[in-house]
Structure 1
Amino acid sequence: MSATLHRLPGHTPSLDPMIGLVARDMDHVNAVIVERMRSDIPLIPELAGHLIAGGGKRMRPMLTLAGAQLVGYAGDRHHLLAAAVEFIHTATLLHDDVVDGSDLRRGKRTANIIWGNPASVLVGDFLFSRSFELMVAGGHMRALEILSNASAVIAEGEVNQLTAARRVDLPEERYLDIIHAKTAALFAAACRIAGIVAERPDAEEVALDAYGRNLGIAFQLVDDAIDYTSDAGTMGKDAGDDFREGKMTLPVILAYARGGAEDRTFWRDAVEGRRTADADFAHAVDLVRRTRAVDDTLARARHYGQRAVEALAIFPDSAIKDAMIEAVDFAVARAY
């Protein structure tokens, strides 16, 4: 596969090549996850296991393992750090579902719906604590610094998103700041720590960071687009969740900017929570399509995906590099 973002005729991009190449390492990571979820309080592993075993592809820890393989790391400390990445991600999902009032996650009822908000928040806190234990056990202070900073940035991004909710005048720059923080920061950290633990040159660390960061932005842009183009079976959450929660994602920002006075009145009412019925969502879908807001959001995703691919140029060709390039294509192709 050449180092460019595209889909070959008749080929559906997949994570399968990466999954296959890191499978042995992932077995070790899964063992760490199971061991570190243990607690004398039965609710903790029960609730955490509901989400961790809920069908996700574990893309973020997989990226740590792939990055380590890309730079030729031969140790095993990346297993602990990859598990820490998964715990950080899972903790943020538990907290996000409480904040958003979500009913579905990966097609299943969310933990907060089953066990309640207090339990979800507290188990999320438990997983954050476990992630920091794993960072320390990983034995590399710079990796601890990168992951702990990413945790703080993610929290800042979520607060930024919360305070930006239901604001129809949200600038595109602030939206990008939010997704840089709440999604791209962990993708970047997951990749960068592979270079750190392998003690690779700064240039390789930076390249891994750029790959993960741009992949994360592309991933989130696609998520925001398919909220207006897909259904719960495809997305693993209710279609229109972002719409009903008043989130100013890029499709809405573009559709609002391009709409006439009547369209802008609709968006203002919708974002402020006065137009949330199924018919209103159907109208919103029509508006984002008519203004090409979804098309242009996906074009931005392809742009960031290409930047992710280009970041890998300093590494020699290999099967794992090809798999990491295909992972970018997969992230973008989910919308098609």
Structure 2
Amino acid sequence: MNDAASPPDRVSSTRRRLLKLAMLAPPAVALSALPGCSQPEQVDGTFLQPWLEHLSWTASDWQRSMKLARRAGCRQLVLQWAGILGGEEGDWQLSDTSLALLFKAADGAGIDVRVGLPFEHAWWQAIGGDDAQLRAFFSGSLQRARDWLQQSRLPLRNRFAGWYLPYELEQYHWTSPARLQWLRDWLHGLQEATRQHGGDCAISTYYSRLPGNSKLTALWAYLLEELELRPMVQDGVGAAGEANLHALEPLLAMFRQRGIGFDVIVELFHQHPDTIGDGSDFKAESADFNRVKRQLQWARDSGADNILAYALEPWLTQGSPKARALRRRWNL
């Protein structure tokens, strides 16, 4: 099957953009624990998705964010990317100063940091394009990643905990044997580059709702024949609803059967239906606590090594009524 004419999967691209909009909202006031209360739910880690706005964060901003994460139980943070190439705002990266402030705040809170490589926005066009476009992306992005890793000093920082590949894998766009092989070769190159520069690498995966005969389990079985990636499984509930958890069970069963360590990502937002149908009319809000509790129970039963929240910032820190309600129920 040729994916050149297939519709783009809007689930993850929309999630990125809606989270950016949420970041533009004013943060809630500083959070303090309720006296005499213990936290009913905790997570092992959270994501932080940086945007240009984070370049202006002060030491106190980073400290506030890390303290909140620690109070929620987090021992690790996944910095989703160190910058973006080819986005609407042009190329940008977190400055050395911003990264130094982040790592210092994380160290003070006792949180390890897994750093995402710069994200290349052309990924979305490449996976929906023809074979030549996909191969060109793989070649160019791999070389740029190698160059960036060669220059990075982040592995020398205290609390550095490895790398994250900011490209989410689903089953829909990887149906042909050729594209599967190109994907595995590309990931192998990234894996080797990260291994040479300070650590292992993880990557997120999710179940695509786009119709097709391909299986997420088959994709990962193929990839893990030669790769040593750490899968991070998005539960997809924020966009697809709780029924999405059932679609992930074959993948998790395969991981458990083969003894493959993995993490699960619990989504703390609720995405409203797209009334236009092309992914441009996206709206989201913080999730209901009872729904999150069910997700966390599923996560604890999944066999995952770690439960990560997507994400404390902004879905617990906004000033919206839903976020305030979530904080109250979380005792934050």
TM-score range, shorter chain: under 0.3
| Structure having the larger proportion of residues in strand | 2
TM-score between both structures, scaled by the size of structure 1: 0.23
Q: Which has the higher contact order (CA 8 A, sep 6+)?
A: 1
**Higher helix fraction: Structure 1 or Structure 2?**
1
